[in-house]
Amino acid sequence: MRVHWTTADPQTGPRPGPAVETPLTYDRTVPRQMVHRAAVAEVFVTDAVQVAEKQVRVAVQLPPSHGYFGDHASGQVDPLLLLEAARQAGIFGSHLVASRCRTRC
């Protein structure tokens, strides 16, 4: 399952992306250290690209079943799984922005 999040500034609303968007990949996860996880099986972030000074697009691959996040019988995605994916996206995005800032700022 792929999840796409779009963020918007509450003051100005959604911002358009760049004219040519860099495609995100879903073929492998990022290094586990970059999302502060101990096991590769717990990494859901697969790619990210910085599109503005404070905006990052992140690709996340959610597992169809998971030992911890799959205990709901309803067949819906566990909200904690989405929360964990968002947490990882935020951490990886901050690493991405910080590394770019160190080379440009």
Model confidence at 34, pLDDT cuts 50, 70, 90, reads: very high
DSSP 56: E
pTM for the full predicted model: 0.72
User: CA dihedral defined by 13, 87, 26, 6, rounded to 10 degrees?
Assistant: -10
When divided into structural domains, the chain yields a total of: 1
Domain of 88? Answer: 2-104
Q: Kindly report, residue by residue over 56-99, the tens digit of the pLDDT.
A: 899 998 876 666 666 666 667 778 888 999 999 999 999 988 87
Q: Which two three-digit tokens encode residue 98?
A: 């910080």
